[in-house]
Amino acid sequence: DAGVIQSPRHEVTEMGQEVTLRCKPISGHNSLFWYRQTMMRGLELLIYFNNNVPIDDSGMPEDRFSAKMPNASFSTLKIQPSEPRDSAVYFCASSRQGGNSPLHFGNGTRLTVT
Amino acid sequence: AQRVTQPEKLLSVFKGAPVELKCNYSYSGSPELFWYVQYSRQRLQLLLRHISRESIKGFTADLNKGETSFHLKKPFAQEEDSAMYYCALSTHAGNMLTFGGGTRLMVKP
């Protein structure tokens, strides 16, 4: 199993541009999470899905952020328009549903907005 | 709402010295506690969880409900232990994890 796959690994874009981050969870996992990691704030949960349905998006910072999960094997996180303060590493993670199931993280996407 | 606090952003020790990474939590119910580790240029991965009562890479962590703590300990630190460590909490309501701010452990030769 290749694990959770994220793309791209690095993204550099200019302020105002649209950014789309992609994630393929581990097959058979029915929970998917998007996290943002910064030096100042550590790991913040943005949104998570169970069985492709968004359950909690209270961590999504602004309306500029949106996430979708059209099927069990794919999710996107979109920022439109992007701003320099969005620069961070964005992690996707998946797990089997259930309180004891560990999260499996992707390698992350390092986003730089200039 | 649940909260996880890691008071130290950076912990620097010499090789062979004991290590304790502190983690405190607040949650009114019975939590599940985890430690995740992120080595340089690698993905975040599970190190250990309190329900397993296991020792991984020499690390242990005991859940102290009285002190609401889940400190990570290792008697003799190794250089390869240098990494970012995150304490995390999950409630029985689901497997959404709340992470602490992380502690960077540096083990010097």
Q: What is A5-44 written as a DSSP string?
A: EEE-SEEEE-TT--EEEEEEPPTT--EEEEEEEETTTEEE
Task: Return averaged pLDDT per consecutive 10 residues of chain B, 109 residues in all.
Answer: 91 97 90 92 88 85 92 96 94 74 95
Number of residues that this document lists for chain B: 109
Q: For B32-63, give one letter per residue: b (16+ CB within 10 A) or e.
A: bbbbbbbeeeebbebbbbeeeeeeeeebebeb
Asked whether the beta carbons of residue A99 and residue B101 sit closer than 8 angstroms, the reply is: no
Q: What is the pLDDT of residues A50-89, one digit of tens each?
A: 999 998 888 898 899 999 999 999 999 999 999 999 999 9
**Structure tokens belonging to residue B13:** 């020790």
- Kindly list the residues from chain A whose CB atom is less than 8 angstroms away from the CB atom of residue B46: 102-103
The C-alpha torsion from A12 through A43 and B97 to B83, rounded to 10°, is: 110
Q: Does A50 touch chain B (CB under 8 A)?
A: yes
Asked whether the beta carbons of residue B43 and residue A105 sit closer than 8 angstroms, the reply is: yes
CA distance A106 to chain B (A): 6
Q: Please state, for a pLDDT cut of 70, what percent of chain A lies above it.
A: 96
- Kindly list the residues from chain B whose CB atom is less than 8 angstroms away from the CB atom of residue A103: 36, 44, 46, 95, 97
